[in-house]
Structure 1
């Protein structure tokens, strides 16, 4: 039985199919790329796309794209003070995003130079999200030249004692471990040096610890960055701790009553303004960490810092105990010698 022959293939159709099969990103009009594609990308994806071709590199370098990304990632950057500073960065919003999106991760070296005299202030741009919804955004300016700042313990507070921020976070029950806060609460604390035009994020992005006070019911949520000395010495470890304190409101939900930043050494002592500023400036000059491991690395370094601090405290207590024993022994020996001397007389 003879089967009918297939219909002839149109040359025009074949040519059109070939063109569609060999189409590349360069065949898309620049207006379509810039308006409908690149505007939908986040910062990391946009930076990757810029490395694929000359055309995409040119389009992805548009200041408006990076400005929108910064504003959507950190709403505090849209406030006038920060917006004006970002405009002075070498490549504008693109440079700011490159500095701020990766976590701070640098070796603190005593050989690095510090431009302490050039930094008259630090700018803090802070944003807190719960379940991807913004609950708090603020910019704070901190002067760094007064004697009070230099000699006092370094601390930046975002809220006045009477100020609180309403949230939709449910207050935990008595036996609640507050696990939902570790999963749903995120924070960024970007420190900006307006003179040197540098920025960095000091937050671990997600909490490294959530603690609830047994009596008051207040919840403290910790975000930290641990800066490590390049020689690995325990004395060179410091922790930049961000604490968000939440209390219960009359509606049964939690209110943010305190947000603060402090720098702590391995002995549990809070560093003063001068020492903290030197450390922050060195970190601003340093390299950035890997964005893909930000949250895991933040918690790992926090736990390692706590372990090293505990070991150091126990070692100090053992040393003090041995010294106390030596003092008692010398005291007994002296008393015995005095008694023998009196007896012999």
Structure 2
């Protein structure tokens, strides 16, 4: 990676520009913020087959895009490249593919798509990344905007029965809920994990659990965060919750309680995990190997723990008793494409 920072070498540093060290952990804005839109106003029009989504199944920010793509049925419109969960000095690599090259882009490292876009770019190489297949150039690494555009700008290519993940009448409330969750939970676990002083750690730790308790209260009598269907807010919270007990609780020292110890959050997380489009994209093997291997400053032995027991993810949650309609008037996505199925090693 261009930046000598464990925070930026993490797939969890989706924007690739996080700082770590003598200052508080800070996640910078995405450098490449072009948008693929229906009218092509940034020069990148929505077009089936033109773009390739590069993601790591270890990364919560990239997993947002993988889940959204599947829920919306965009698998045929946007192809998917899955990187090795463990990077080397050049960052995300395609060693899972034959010959160590992405079969569509023909590159060994995601950095090659960054270089094609901007030679000598000094920032980090991050996922998710949307790459223009014809030119091989990176289009965007703006993980915050990418999924919103998948839900809105790509609507002409959504599958029949696709849910509305960002309904216009609820966007104000969704944005407000997502802002707090991003600040205190999605990013809060990183602020705790990469804190370089006791004071900074305790501040982040407090933020994480205050927000989790608030979210637990919110979800006690409602199935989803906003409205009665799955929205972008649920996607963003889920990607942190599903990693919490496996890595954030111990590795990032966010250990006041496990998600499995909070009845509401655990039921909510299992409900989503068992919903098509969520759990079938999760690879616990990639998640654990990435965090415990890459963050050598936190885990210098690089030993990957065998636990926790994952079987609970498939246990009954009874959240359907709260009502709600996961896909609104729509339908669940179909089966996972064979070449995108998570291996047995990564599933409960």
TM over 0.5: same fold? no
Higher relative contact order (CA 8 A, sep 6+): 2
Q: Which has the greater radius of gyration?
A: 1
* Larger strand percent: 1
Question: With structure 2 as the length reference, what TM-score do the two structures score?
Answer: 0.25
